[in-house]
Amino acid sequence: MQQFDGKMAVVTGGGTGMGRELCLALARAGAHVATCDVSSDNMAETKALCEAAAPDGTRFTTHRCDVSNETQVLAFRDAVMAEHDVDHANLVFNNAGIGGGGDFLEGPREEWERTFGVCWFGVYYMTRAFMPLLVASDEGYLVNTSSVNGFWASIGPMTPHTAYSAAKFAVKGFSEALITNLRVVAPHVKVAVVMPGHIGTSIALNTSQVLGKGTAMDMSTEEVALIRKRWTQLGMPVDNLPDDDIRRAIHQRGIEFRDKAPTTAAQAAEIILDGVKNDRWRILVGADAHRIDELVREFPEEAYEPTFLEKLARDNHFAGLMNPPAAAEEG
């Protein structure tokens, strides 16, 4: 698919981050775009940006949809077909995702299942709903966002990360299996799996809101106690740190994750769309993603040891995973 002009594109999680930047890049290129998100306010901002950038004659619609709910996904599909007056889609970007659910043993089950529901079932339900529209097109591309956590289930040696990693491994395996399935049944439809490293998005800030917890400053005493326990295990002097200081540290980490990333969301969107244009099924995003991929293949037995992170830090990747939060240092 060498150009996007006049194509029908569907993007989940278009309210912020990579989803917004994908919408913007596609709109600029002349594609008709339908996007969904759980935040109507964020989508309104995306819509204003896209309509200002798009050529005359292109259509851009927003739809409120929780992709972990199949009924809402089917309603989203029907609304796209009705509002764009189409019976097909050329591009479907399964981009929506949240964090959370890190601790399988001590964390709340509801949070684990909510994270897994958005990050895996969102991809599954969307693919079930929109695959017939891709098959009905003259050329189609399904683009599923996994993560480096789809082949490396870690964000640090003492930080459990189970729900997100399990979901992203599932997305990667599902997408790779579809390569042969589509080649046999619908060869005009391609699939790509996207594996970003650290991208400057608001996922760390948005997750608490999607999980119904407000912001990091609204974390319960129990949640703060669990974080305090993890940081103490890492040797951080947080025993006497007030709960609100820990909340502020978590919030600050979310801001720094967004604002100090080595790859911006706009750069990530450009890499993804270039991958589609170059007919690639495996799209690594960011130098850190490429390096983690190399190291996991070279040192698979070491992937979950502190020495693995030390190798990454020497290359200036994910160095923050080895460092205490700023608020803890200042405490």
The CB-side HSE value for 47 (13 A sphere, CA atoms) comes to 16
Please say if 164 is a catalytic residue.
yes
Query: Helical H runs in the chain?
Result: 17-28, 40-53, 70-84, 109-116, 122-135, 162-185, 203-210, 221-233, 243-259, 265-277, 287-298, 306-314, 326-330
C-alpha gyration radius of the chain = 20
Instruction: Kindly name the residue from 124, 125, 164, 304 that is annotated as catalytic.
Output: 164
CB atoms within 10 A of CB 174: 18
> In this structure, are residues 37 and 25 in contact, taking their beta carbons and an 8 Å threshold?
no
CB atoms within 10 A of CB 214: 10
On the 0-12 / 13-18 / 19+ scale of CB atoms within 10 A, 253 is: middle
Q: Which residues are catalytic?
A: 164
